[in-house]
Structure 1
Amino acid sequence: MAAFLVSAPSPLMPVASFGIFTGMLVGVNFLFDLACFPIVILFHSEVITPCFARLVPFSRQTLSVRTESQERLITAHQNRISRDNNDGSRDMTYHQLQLQDKVNEENETVLDTVQHIEHKNKVVWFLENKFYKFMIWKPVRVVIPLFFLVITAFFTYSATTLGADSSQVKVYRESNNYAKAIERHFSGFQQNYDDRYNKLHLTWGMKPQNLASCDWKSGDSCTGQSEIDEHFDMSSSEAQISLMNLCHRLENFTDKEISSYGIKRNPVTNKPEIACFMSALYKFIQNTGYLENIPFPFTKESVVPFMKRNFHIYNISSIPENFDRYFEILVSYWLSNGYTHTLTEDFLTYHRLIGEMTIPGVTQCFNRSSYIGTYGTKLRVVAIEINTTFMFQNLGYREGKPIYHLWEKFIQQEVSKMPSSMKSGFQSSRESWHWIKIQETLVKSAVRGVVIGISLAFPILTITTLNVVIGFLATICITMITVVVVGLIPLIGWKLGVLESINLSLIVGLSVDYVVHFAEAYRTSPFTHRKGRVKSMLEAMGLSVLSGAITTFGAAVFMLFAEIQFSYQFGIFVMCTIGTSFMFSFLLFPAFMASWGPEGNTGSIPAIVKALKLKCQRKRTIQTLNY
């Protein structure tokens, strides 16, 4: 459950919700197993079995034989517990352990004889005899760990090649007609000038979007709140000069810079497609005969004479003495084409990049013959628009992140040169940077989920098995399973996208299942020597693990026929994880335990605690005697 819940803090709604759902599912399943399953067993034992025995008389003999078999197992287990509680048992030598296990194996032979009478399951018999002898054979105990170590090393290298998926989340499988149509729409034809490339904006007057009101529940529907920068002001000479210098810097990028920053060139002029309103405003004034004598920067000294010459538009006497929005006077005149309001190329390009607001008591409206408009407004937002060469559908994480950092570094350097009224500048893209951030979050969420899951596996397994050695060996096995499954993803041809990140949140949870069953069976074995424990482990849990693997793997097979990409991919992922986990738990873990499994009380937490208590008691006794 903990391995699934580590995905809950993810900022991505699908990953977080799936982790919470699977974690809750495991928790509810555990509670029902703990509360309901014992009741079902008792009902079967106390009600159904006696009724069946009365109805079918010959079943009583089988019932009595089973009871005798169970009694023998209980007796052997109680003997082991009594030895563990004996203080002198911790001093038993390796030879004494072997002698004790020899007696236990003789008892087990008797149990096998009884169980053969019971028509013992052939799979269980194979596991505790043929398979057990194969696993404890010394060459096998050496070859299997080395073989799995080589496999893990190969898949570790494969996992390092796993990259973020640049494409959008696919709803349908590639064989589906809808999926083919979507793929051909975006990638099947050569892009032309009319296709929608991403646009980059360098913006002043706005603060970055305030997302304080958004949380993981709101998902993508929450866009935050827009906030105005009250310190932004374009009226000063320093602000106008700094923005003009930035425009010249962008328009004179070298070929290498244009390529590195991903700027699109105009197919006719071959110039970078950069819409900077300061350059356009300056050209308008220089190319208009009766305006060309207005010097730059556009301050009160240069604009007031222009207003006096155009007295049919501007009423100088109505302007307050503290009025300082002279730069906006020329901006309004330029966009409205001299207040004639005839559409121009500049208006179509720049009107959406400039935001104005009226000033109460200052802004004036006029309607004189063919001249209609307002003046005396204040600029609140300005932006420079740059056409790029990438589309967010095709922008990969590896390619897009360097471009994002280039623009981020560029705007920070330029803003640092500007006056205080222009310090709010930032760069943004409507879709591309957001998608790159999602891909980066997917990578971090997947890595964090796997690392936290494996980190939690060791303490949890140690606590549940009450043995440090068993917990350590089980954690190594789970780590190798996780590495192999992650390494399978690029070999299959997948990349790390939303669906893969969701699936990765399940790796540790699915990998730990079979190993922990064997680990607990090894710990509860009535034997003290590792070979006897391995045999008991295979006998007690081998069939359960095999049955669980077959049912889970078989259920995932039916998902291969789904048309939805997530269901299809989830089925393959579950099959790979279950298959890998089964192979490692049935081959590697028994080999580990047959070679390095703890014997007696080695690594036992209760034994360690008991030894520490005895040591403290002896120390206090010695101190008491000394006094």
Structure 2
Amino acid sequence: DQIHLTLYKISNKQLKNRLNPIIIYSNYRKSFNRTLERIYKEQIQSNYDVNQTRISINNTLRDALTDEYQCSALKTAMQCITGAAGADNVPTDFCNRILTKQRSFNWAVLPDKPSSIDGNVRPFAVLITIRGVHNRTDYNSYNEYYMNVKNFFNSYIKQHAPEHLKHAWFSSPNFAFYGVQRELLSGSSSSLLVSLGIALVVLFLTSGNLFIAVYALITVTFAIAITVSVFVVLEWELGIIEGIVIVMAVGLSVDFVVHFGVGYIHIDPTDIDNERKKIEDQSKPNGNENDSKINTLRVMYRKQQVERTTRVRGSILRVGSAVFMAAFTTFAAGFSMIFASVIAIRQMGQFLMAIMLTSWSFSMFFFLPLCLIIGPVGICGSIPFSRLIKCFKQTPRQQ
């Protein structure tokens, strides 16, 4: 009767307008819904005791079995995370407190099509809430915790889940930051390896010598390793900016060693011939055949060493000052950035200073001494690109 009376009042009020006697359905629905809501609340408050209903629901057999299953699952989870000794020492009242205060189960039916197995079961999610405090900045402990929880749920689903739920998986929004950390760790390593591979190809194409490219790659690898060690000493944490910085380190550290390598290869042949003639003039063969062979090997070794020395000296004289000024100016630019209040700018300044210092030092005091000791001489390790180009040009094209 009350509902009918409400409908009559709403209709009569809107139809009294003689100029435009129509019903506005939006106002009609709003008024009707508010009326129904008030009526339903009054009926519930008058006919049902909320506290009694809550007590009766909590004391059902299903709720007791759920508490038992949850307590057993919690002890199993504690055993999975802390070990058998830790699980044996977990008291029952602790599990009960965790279940009542810090743990909850919810079921959510996903808006998807029914299962293709029987046509009745829809996809759903089991939402398990566990409150706790965990250090998210420590990747090792966070990774161990995640793997333990994931392995526990995977094994539990595999053993106890119904047939149409065997493909369920564990997921939690609280591990979103852990996923970012894991991708940064693996992505930075793989990106660094790819960058080093590309650097090797670029070094080989620019220098035209396989040994120089390998020596330069070793130099760049050591420079990047020392730079990353400096970041660890400065207590950097691996983030998006730090991952980009590590990949950029390869490109910036290759520059100096490329200049020295190209200067080593493209030395003036006249200087090398003059130094070789000096060695030949200094060595005087005698009449003994054995001494002549030894002297020939000695002269050959001295010629190779003087060629390496000439190449290293020429490389330093040609590009040494330019490389030093480039490193110094970039180092000075980074030094001016370390006094910034923004952390990203300050870290970028530290990165520029570290990478310039390490890359220049290794290219000057590691790469050049390495070439001085075991550097290639003559055409050893060189690829005759000019001959290959001429060969391709002289090859007759098929019409």
TM value normalised by structure 2: 0.60
Give the aligned partner of residue 544 of structure 1. 322
Pairing 1:413–2:155 present: yes
> How big is each residue's C-alpha offset from its partner over 1:261-284, in whole Å with a ceiling of 9 and x where there is no partner?
999xx99953266659xxxxxxxx
TM-aligned CA distance change 1:272 to 1:455, over 3 Å: farther
Pairing 1:353–2:113 present: no
- Residue 463 of structure 1 is aligned with which of 195, 205, 211? 205
Per the alignment, in what secondary structure is the counterpart of residue 171 of structure 2? Answer: strand
Pairing 1:559–2:323 present: no
Letter in 2 for 1:571: G
Displacement of 1:493: 2.2
TM-aligned CA distance change 1:356 to 1:411, over 3 Å: closer
Letter in 2 for 1:270: F
Q: How does 1:30-45 map to 2 (within 5 A)?
A: none
Displacement of 1:427: 2.6
Displacement of 1:248: 4.8
Displacement of 1:506: 1.2
Contact 1:534 1:590 in 2 (8 A): yes
Give the aligned partner of residue 502 of structure 1. 244
List gaps (5 residues or longer) in structure 2: 1-62, 112-120, 273-306, 392-399
Contact 1:353 1:384 in 2 (8 A): yes
Contact 1:518 1:541 in 2 (8 A): yes
Aligned equivalents of 2:161, 2:181: Cα separation in 1 = 33
Aligned equivalents of 2:70, 2:255: Cα separation in 1 = 61
Pairing 1:452–2:275 present: no
Per the alignment, in what secondary structure is the counterpart of residue 94 of structure 2? Answer: coil
Contact 2:208 2:383 in 1 (8 A): yes
Per the alignment, in what secondary structure is the counterpart of residue 353 of structure 2? Answer: helix
Q: How does 1:75-86 map to 2 (within 5 A)?
A: none
Letter in 1 for 2:169: F
Letter in 2 for 1:604: S
TM-aligned CA distance change 1:524 to 1:257, over 3 Å: closer
TM-aligned CA distance change 1:445 to 1:398, over 3 Å: same
Letter in 2 for 1:271: C
Percentage identity across aligned positions?
Answer: 24
Displacement of 1:487: 2.0
Letter in 1 for 2:237: K
Pairing 1:249–2:59 present: no
Residues paired across the two proteins, number: 281
Per the alignment, in what secondary structure is the counterpart of residue 389 of structure 1? Answer: coil
Give the aligned partner of residue 270 of structure 1. 94
Give the aligned partner of residue 257 of structure 2. 515
TM-aligned CA distance change 1:524 to 1:258, over 3 Å: closer
Letter in 1 for 2:384: P
Give the aligned partner of residue 439 of structure 1. 181
Per the alignment, in what secondary structure is the counterpart of residue 562 of structure 1? Answer: coil
Contact 2:108 2:126 in 1 (8 A): no
Give the aligned partner of residue 229 of structure 2. 487
Give the aligned partner of residue 352 of structure 2. 574
> How big is each residue's C-alpha offset from its partner over 1:543-592, in whole Å with a ceiling of 9 and x where there is no partner?
11011011100111111111111111111011011001111112222212
Per the alignment, in what secondary structure is the counterpart of residue 506 of structure 1? Answer: helix
> How big is each residue's C-alpha offset from its partner over 1:198-231, in whole Å with a ceiling of 9 and x where there is no partner?
xxxxxxxxxxxxxxxxxxxxxxxxxxxxxxxxxx
Per the alignment, in what secondary structure is the counterpart of residue 364 of structure 2? Answer: helix
TM-aligned CA distance change 1:424 to 1:599, over 3 Å: closer
Aligned equivalents of 2:188, 2:144: Cα separation in 1 = 21
> How big is each residue's C-alpha offset from its partner over 1:269-313, in whole Å with a ceiling of 9 and x where there is no partner?
53266659xxxxxxxxxxxxxxxxxxxxxxxxxxxxxxxxxxxxx
> How big is each residue's C-alpha offset from its partner over 1:141-166, in whole Å with a ceiling of 9 and x where there is no partner?
xxxxxxxxxxxxxxxxxxxxxxxxxx
Give the aligned partner of residue 426 of structure 1. 169
Displacement of 1:255: 5.7
Per the alignment, in what secondary structure is the counterpart of residue 427 of structure 1? Answer: coil
Pairing 1:525–2:349 present: no
Aligned equivalents of 2:192, 2:352: Cα separation in 1 = 16
Letter in 1 for 2:238: L
Give the aligned partner of residue 588 of structure 1. 366
Aligned equivalents of 2:335, 2:260: Cα separation in 1 = 25
Letter in 1 for 2:94: N
TM-aligned CA distance change 1:532 to 1:383, over 3 Å: same
TM value normalised by structure 1: 0.40
Aligned equivalents of 1:476, 1:463: Cα separation in 2 = 17
Cα RMSD (Å) of the superposition? 4.0
TM-aligned CA distance change 1:408 to 1:257, over 3 Å: closer
> How big is each residue's C-alpha offset from its partner over 1:358-408, in whole Å with a ceiling of 9 and x where there is no partner?
9xxxxxxxxxxxxxxxxxxx98745342314234x6352211112212222
Pairing 1:603–2:381 present: yes
Aligned equivalents of 2:137, 2:92: Cα separation in 1 = 25
Aligned equivalents of 1:518, 1:597: Cα separation in 2 = 12
Pairing 1:383–2:206 present: no
TM-aligned CA distance change 1:272 to 1:574, over 3 Å: farther
Aligned equivalents of 2:353, 2:189: Cα separation in 1 = 21
Q: How does 1:144-223 map to 2 (within 5 A)?
A: none
Displacement of 1:456: 2.4
Letter in 2 for 1:387: I
Letter in 2 for 1:590: L
Contact 1:356 1:381 in 2 (8 A): yes
> How big is each residue's C-alpha offset from its partner over 1:432-457, in whole Å with a ceiling of 9 and x where there is no partner?
x2111111111112211222222222
Contact 1:397 1:436 in 2 (8 A): yes
Letter in 1 for 2:185: V
Q: How does 1:298-309 map to 2 (within 5 A)?
A: none
Aligned equivalents of 2:79, 2:162: Cα separation in 1 = 29
Contact 2:212 2:375 in 1 (8 A): yes
More helix by share: 2
Letter in 1 for 2:73: L
Per the alignment, in what secondary structure is the counterpart of residue 354 of structure 1? Answer: strand
Contact 1:521 1:536 in 2 (8 A): yes
